Amino acid sequence: MGKTYVGSRLRQLRRERDLSQAQLANTLGLSASYVNQIEHDVRPLTVPVLHRITEAFGVDATFFSRDDDSRLLAEIQDVMGDKELCPTPVELQELSEMVYNHPKLARVMVDMHRRYHTVRDKLSLATDTRNAPNPGEKSTTANALSMPHEEVRDFFYARQNYIGDVDLLAEETAQQLAITPGDIRRTEDAIAQRLTEAHGVKLSFTQEVDDTLHRFNPDTLELSVATRLSPGQRAFRMAAELAFLEAGDLIDAAVDDGELTSPESITLARRGVASYYAAALMLPYEQFHQSSESSRYDIEYLCQLFGVGYETICHRLSTLQRPNMRGIPFTFVRVDRAGNMSKRQSATGFHFTHSGGTCPLWNVYETFTNPGSIMRQLAQMPDGRTYLWISRTVRHHRSRFGEPGKLFSIGLGCEARHAERTIYADGLDLLDFSNATPIGAGCRVCTRAHCAQRAFPPLNGQISVDAHSSTIAPY
């Protein structure tokens, strides 16, 4: 492993567990002086000690790796790339040292930067008189420009898309209901029976043709579900309502811990955690993890085995981060043709820029030309890190002739070092990344030079344009 000094990380881990150095030393079977020397970077971390720590505390070995900081480092680069706040460039090495040694300070800076942009946007809207009813008056839309969905995305992002207490309770309930792979109608019936017998819910199925897929009245305990949904979709919506009835306290505790800033964000987060419970109930962690590993993360096989859709399987794969039973740390995205990212969850270091736009060379966009087909891509970021991306389109809620449907591309990505654990790595050369597609987090923050697809110059760079010559790149 070489000499790896992890003093700040070990100290962070000890404080999170509310342990003294003596207690930590006793847990690891080491002397207190030895632990003190590791914490003060006098001694490096050895492999035997690393194994003791991972076994005792259930943390992944990458907790002590600088690679584990890649997501936070990318976010700090976003902050420092904002010329309004930081006109002078800061060397990447300096940012890396700050992130590694002072991660809490780095997270505070990232949070302050996001809040600054939110306040700036609200102020811009509040002072905009173009849509005011009378000249000189402020716009009636100036009451707020909150972005609840962005807050909720960050809520899950900060937890690496894993909520342990909710996941464990859902798995326990799945055992009580005897939910097993292979019979989605049995799962639907079991959830429906739990709702009616344990909670007195009056369940009905409706053939309404409007856009309502399910509706629950907490006062009358009446739940109606559209028959147009598949058995898996019906079971999921019933499970989400069961979450509020059986895991309401855990949902509220998780949301309260998120420090969300608006009632809309809180409501959206509660629904998001309830949906998390529903997926964990229908796809119980241990069963799903075992099936994923044994099938080498074959998404279409898992869809058939568990009887749910492609998007649901991909989303659940991105949550397999239980200590001592971790799956591949995946990033999950859902985008449309225009590049709008309506879902994004990450258990890995892949970073989504807040500066607008993603990379057109990313294969999630190419799937729209081959609907329904799974496409693979080895993609390399500007920092040299390479990812395997698996992408496919899905279509939502189109059940009648002439009814407009929704077409999305679902992307699931992991670092290339995990790729061989998946069936999608078969036939790919994972030893030579020279043919990997060069992509970036977005043109405004991408430092890659000579890119023919660049739409904007980088935020923190000089624009070089010669009026009398041209190159493949516009800037």
Q: Which residues contact 279 (CB under 8 A, 6 or more apart)?
A: 236, 312, 315, 316, 319
Q: Which residues contact 108 (CB under 8 A, 6 or more apart)?
A: none
Q: What is the DSSP string of 11-23?
A: HHHHHHTT--HHH
Please tell me the distance from the alpha carbon of residue 314 to that of residue 302, in angstroms, as a whole number.
Answer: 10
Residue 216: what pLDDT? 94
Q: What is the dihedral of CA 429, 434, 439, 445, to 10 degrees?
A: 130
Per-residue pLDDT, averaged over 426-442, amounts to 86
Residue 20: is it exposed, middle or buried by C-beta count within 10 angstroms (0-12/13-18/19+)?
exposed
- CB count within 10 Å of CB 415 equals 20
Q: Does the pLDDT value for residue 58 go beyond 70?
A: no
Say what percent of the chain tops pLDDT 70: 84
- The domains of the chain, with CATH numbers, are 7-64 (1.10.260.40), 70-145 (no CATH), 148-325 (1.10.10.2910), 328-435 (3.30.450)
Q: Does the pLDDT value for residue 141 go beyond 80?
A: no
Hey, which residues does 250 pair with through a beta bridge?
Answer: none
Hey, which residues does 226 pair with through a beta bridge?
Answer: 206
Name the most confidently modeled range: 93-97, 228-232, 443-447.
228-232
412 Cα distance to chain centroid: 10
Name the most confidently modeled range: 101-115, 119-133, 296-310.
296-310
Contact 349, 415 (CB under 8 A): yes
Contact 364, 411 (CB under 8 A): yes
- CB count within 10 Å of CB 221 equals 16
The one-letter amino acid at 461: G
Question: Three-state SS for 376?
Answer: strand
Please tell me the distance from the alpha carbon of residue 159 to that of residue 419, in angstroms, as a whole number.
Answer: 23
**Strand ranges inside 339-415, DSSP E:** 341-346, 375-380, 386-396, 406-415
The one-letter amino acid at 319: T
Q: Does the pLDDT value for residue 144 go beyond 60?
A: no
Please tell me the distance from the alpha carbon of residue 317 to that of residue 347, in angstroms, as a whole number.
Answer: 10
Instruction: For residue 192, give the nearest of 246, 244, 249, 234 by alpha carbon.
Output: 234
Name the most confidently modeled range: 26-30, 146-150, 173-177, 259-263.
173-177
Handedness of CA 422, 74, 391, 185 (dihedral sign): positive
Please tell me what DSSP assigns to residue 374.
Answer: -
Contact 148, 138 (CB under 8 A): no
Please tell me the distance from the alpha carbon of residue 365 to that of residue 341, in angstroms, as a whole number.
Answer: 11
* Phi, psi angle pair for 368, to nearest 5°: -65, -20
pLDDT for 278-306, tens place per residue?
999 999 999 999 999 999 999 999 999 99
Percentages helix, strand, coil for the chain (3-state, rounded to 5) are 45, 15, 40
Say what percent of the chain tops pLDDT 90: 37
Please tell me the distance from the alpha carbon of residue 158 to that of residue 214, in angstroms, as a whole number.
Answer: 30
Contact 234, 195 (CB under 8 A): no
Q: Which H or E run includes 55? A: helix 47-57
Please tell me the distance from the alpha carbon of residue 374 to that of residue 402, in angstroms, as a whole number.
Answer: 27
Instruction: For residue 367, give the nearest of 357, 377, 358 by alpha carbon.
Output: 377
Longest dimension (CA), the chain: 78
Select the more confidently predicted residue: 396 or 347.
396
pTM of the complete model beyond 0.85: no
Hey, which residues does 393 pair with through a beta bridge?
Answer: 409
Q: Does the pLDDT value for residue 1 go beyond 50?
A: no
Residue that has been written with the tokens 């449309």 in this structure: 336
Q: Does the pLDDT value for residue 389 go beyond 90?
A: yes
Instruction: For residue 369, give the nearest of 338, 339, 337 by alpha carbon.
Output: 337
Q: Which H or E run includes 222? A: strand 222-226
Residue 352: what pLDDT? 59
Question: Three-state SS for 30?
Answer: coil
Residue 298: is it exposed, middle or buried by C-beta count within 10 angstroms (0-12/13-18/19+)?
middle
pLDDT for 194-243, tens place per residue?
999 999 999 999 887 567 889 999 999 999 999 888 899 999 999 999 99
